[in-house]
Amino acid sequence: MKADKRIISVAVGLVFFIPALLLDKIWGIFAAYLTLYALAWAAAAWSVILKALRNIRRGVIFDENFLMLIASIGAFVINLVFSDFETELCAPGGGEAMMDGVLVMLLYQTGEYFQALAVRRSRKNIRRLLSMRPDSAVVVRDGKETEVDPDDVAVGEITVVRPGERIALDGTVTEGSGYIDTSMITGESVPAFVKPGDQVKSGCIAVDSLLTLKTTKAFGESTASKMLRLVEEAADKKAKQETFIGAFAKVYTPIVCAAALIVAVIPSVVQIFAFGAVAGDAWHKWIYTALSLLVVSCPCALVISVPLTFFSGIGGASRIGVLVKGSDCFAPLARTNIIAFDKTGTITAGKFSVKETATDKRTLAMLAAAENKFNHPIARAFDAEADGSCVCTYAEDVSGRGIRAIVDDQRLTAGTYAFMQSEGVECADVSDPYTIVHVAVNGEYKGYVTVADTVKPESAEAVAECRKNGMKTIMLTGDRPAVAQAVAKEVGIDEVRAGMLPQDKVDAVQELKTQGKVIFCGDGINDAPVIASADVGCAMGGVGSDSAIEAADIVIMNDDLTSVVAGRRHAQKVIRIATENIVGSLVTKIVIMILSILLPALSLIVEFPLWIAIIGDVGVCLVAIANSMRALRCRIKRTNTKALS
C-alpha cells in the first residue's frame, strides 16, 4: 500500500511539475511556475514530511527524510532569496533551483518506491513459509471426522488429509499411500511417495491421495511450527554489519550536517571578506553546494541495502531447506574451514539395512520372514528382503544375541558367532567392522549376512565438495572405531575420532577451534552440547532432536549434507554482497561529496547541480538494493548425479 502511495505522489507531482517546467524555461511566468513547483513539491513531499515529524517526536532528527526536506526546501529558499526578481525570476530559466528542489523529492520518492518493491520481494520467501501454517485439522473422534484447531489435536489421535490439503501435524501414515509435496519443508521439488508406516511432516501437502495419519507430535512441536518459530526469531538477530551500519548512521549523519553548515558559511565568508566577492553570489553558490552535500551524503543506501542483504540471504537459504537462525550466523559460517560430523543420523541415515549377503536367496528370505517378527533395528534391516514366499510360525529372541525360529516347518538359527557356537553350529568367525548375522537351517550352516547403518547417498558428494573448497573434514562419533573407519573410508573423510562421549566431542571441537573456524553437524540429544560449542552449530532438522535444533545456528530441514555446503557457499555470497554495498556506497558518496566541494572551489563550475547529487544518492541506493537482491538466489550444486539416483 505504501508503495502505491509513493507512485501516486510521484504521478501527481509530475502533473504539476511538467507545466511548471514549461512556464519556467520558456515563458518565465514567475507566479505561475512558483505555484506549480510548490504544488509539485507538496504532492511528492507530504509523506516525507510526516515521517520526518514522527521521527523527530521520537528523538531521531538526522535521518534521510530530514536531509531530503532540508535540501529541497533550501533550494526554494536560495532561489527566492538570492535571485533578482526582475532580471532572473521573471526571465526564462529563473526557477532552476526550485526545479532542482522538486526533482530531489520526485527522485527520492521514486527511489523509495523501488526500495519498497525490493523489500517486498525479499520478504516473499518468508511469507511463503508463513503460508504453510495450517488453520485447521480434520480429526477422527467417535468415528466421525471433525474439523478442529490444530492446537486441540492430541498426540496419538487420528487425522485425515485429503488431496490438496496441508498436513497439520507430524505423524505416521496408517492408511492410504500417494505423493506429498515436501518443497516447503525440505526444498525438494520432486514429490515424495509415502505409504503406511512412513513418517510425514506438517507443512507438506497431500498431492493425489487421501491419507490417514496418527499424530506423533503436538502442533506446537511439529515441523512447520518449529520452522516458523525459527524464521521469526531469525528476524530479531542482527549481523555485525547491520549493527555497525545503524551505529554508523547515527554518528555519520550529524557529522555530515555539521560539515554542510561549515561548507555553507566558511567559504562564503572567506570569498566576501578576503576576495571581495558579491555577498549574494557567494552565499548562493556555497549554500547550494552545502545542500548538494546533504543530499549525496544521505546514508539510505547503507541503512537499507545491508539489512536487506541479510534478510534476503535468510529467505534465499530457506528455499533449499536451510534455516539460518539469524543474520549474525552468516559471517562465521562463511569463514569456516573445518567441518566436523557426527556419524549416525548425519552421515548415515540411522537406519540399518543389509549391506552384503554371503548366503543363498532362499535362506535370506527365510531369515527375513523370521526377523519380521521383531521390531529392533537389526530386525528392521531385513524388511526390504522379505518377499512373502516364506512363513514364520514361531520366533524367539535370545537376549539380543540371536534368534530361534520355525520357518516353513524348518528350524532356523541366526545370530552372532558366539551364539551360533552355543547352538552347536560350526561357522567361521568373519572379520568385518559391521554387524554379522550368521544363519543355519536345521543345524546346517548356510552363510552370513552383513548389516550396517545405511550411508546417505549424498554424504560422499558433500564431503568431496568440502575438501574441494579447502575444508578439513572430521568425524566425531561414539561408535566403534572399526565401524567409524569403514564409514569414513566410504565417504572420504580426512580424520576419524571414535568411541567419544558427548564431553569428548566438546573437547575435540575446542581443540579444533585453535586451528580455524569449526562447523559441527549432528542430530541427536547427545550432540546438543557440541553443537552449541562450535563456531557454527548445524542440526539435521528432519531427524534431529529438539535439543539439537534449539542449540544450532542453522538447521538443515532435508537432512542433506550437500545443503550444508550450499549454505556455507551462500553465506560467503551474502557477506560478499554486504561488503560490496558498504564499500561501493561509501566510495561513491565520498567521491561525489569531494567533487561537490572541489569543483565550485576551483571555479570549474558555478555550483554543483542538486539533481546530480540526488541521482548520485538514489542511484547508489538502487544499485545497492539490486545487488542485495542477489542474496535471494540460492541453490544446491549437484555434481554427482549417479550418487543421488
pLDDT above 80 for 639:
no
Q: What single DSSP character describes residue 168?
A: -
447 and 364 fall within a common domain: yes
Confidence of residue 640 (pLDDT cuts 50, 70, 90): very low
Measured CA to CA, the distance from residue 527 to residue 341 in angstroms comes to 10
pLDDT above 70 for 234:
no
Percent of the chain exceeding pLDDT 90 equals 33
Q: Are 485 and 498 in contact (CB under 8 A)?
A: yes
- Comparing C-alpha atoms, which of 215, 280, 247, 229 is closest to residue 85? 280
27 and 112 fall within a common domain: yes
Single-letter amino acid code for the residue at 350? G
* Assigned domain for 468 exists: no
Measured CA to CA, the distance from residue 168 to residue 157 in angstroms comes to 12
* Annotated catalytic residue, options 24, 63, 328, 342: 342
**Domain ends where: 56, 88, 122?**
122
- For residue 426, the domain's CATH number is 3.40.1110.10
Count of domains forming the chain: 4
Measured CA to CA, the distance from residue 573 to residue 221 in angstroms comes to 32
pLDDT above 50 for 446:
yes
Say if residue 323 is exposed, middle or buried (CB neighbours under 10 Å; 0-12, 13-18, 19+).
Answer: buried
543 and 533 fall within a common domain: yes
DSSP line for 325-374: S-GGGHHHHHH--EEEE-IIIIIEEEEEEEEEEES-HHHHHHHHHHHTT-
- For residue 193, the domain's CATH number is 2.70.150.10
226 and 293 fall within a common domain: yes
524 and 621 fall within a common domain: yes
212 and 234 fall within a common domain: no
Structure confidence at residue 466 (pLDDT): 93
* Assigned domain for 474 exists: no
- Residue 342 bears catalytic tag: yes
Q: Are 188 and 458 in contact (CB under 8 A)?
A: no
pLDDT above 90 for 284:
no
Q: Return the C-alpha cell found at 356.
A: 552384503
Q: Return the C-alpha cell found at 54.
A: 514522527
356 and 328 fall within a common domain: no
Place of cell 557529522: 255
Q: What is the mean pLDDT of the chain?
A: 84
* Assigned domain for 593 exists: yes
β-pair partners for 412: 405, 441
- Comparing C-alpha atoms, which of 71, 614, 613, 606 is closest to residue 285? 606
Percent of the chain exceeding pLDDT 70 equals 87
81 and 95 fall within a common domain: yes
Say if residue 499 is exposed, middle or buried (CB neighbours under 10 Å; 0-12, 13-18, 19+).
Answer: exposed
* Assigned domain for 512 exists: no
* Assigned domain for 618 exists: yes
Measured CA to CA, the distance from residue 238 to residue 229 in angstroms comes to 16
Domain residues for the domain of 213 are 137-217
* Assigned domain for 484 exists: no
**Domain ends where: 455, 473, 492?**
455
Confidence of residue 118 (pLDDT cuts 50, 70, 90): low
CA dihedral 586, 592, 598, 599 (to 10 degrees): 170
Measured CA to CA, the distance from residue 553 to residue 322 in angstroms comes to 11
Structure confidence at residue 185 (pLDDT): 65
- Comparing C-alpha atoms, which of 455, 454, 456, 462 is closest to residue 638? 462
Q: What single DSSP character describes residue 561?
A: H
141-147 long-range contacts, CB within 8 A, separation 24+: none
DSSP line for 77-93: HHHHHSS-IIIIITSTT
Q: How does pLDDT run across 407-436, given as a tens digit for each residue? A: 999 999 999 999 999 999 989 888 888 889
101 and 202 fall within a common domain: no
Say if residue 497 is exposed, middle or buried (CB neighbours under 10 Å; 0-12, 13-18, 19+).
Answer: middle
Structure confidence at residue 233 (pLDDT): 57
Mean pLDDT of 11-36: 93
pLDDT above 60 for 475:
yes
* Assigned domain for 508 exists: no
**Phi and psi at residue 79, to the nearest 5°:** -65, -40
421 and 540 fall within a common domain: no
641 and 521 fall within a common domain: yes
419 and 443 fall within a common domain: yes
Q: How does pLDDT run across 338-358, given as a tens digit for each residue? A: 999 998 888 988 778 888 899
Q: How does pLDDT run across 581-603, given as a tens digit for each residue? A: 989 988 888 888 888 888 888 87
* Assigned domain for 491 exists: no
CA dihedral 323, 117, 576, 621 (to 10 degrees): -150
Measured CA to CA, the distance from residue 376 to residue 284 in angstroms comes to 88
Mean pLDDT of 26-54: 93
Structure confidence at residue 595 (pLDDT): 86
Q: When comparing pLDDT for 127 and 378, which is higher?
A: 378
544-553, 564-573, 598-607: which is most confident: 564-573
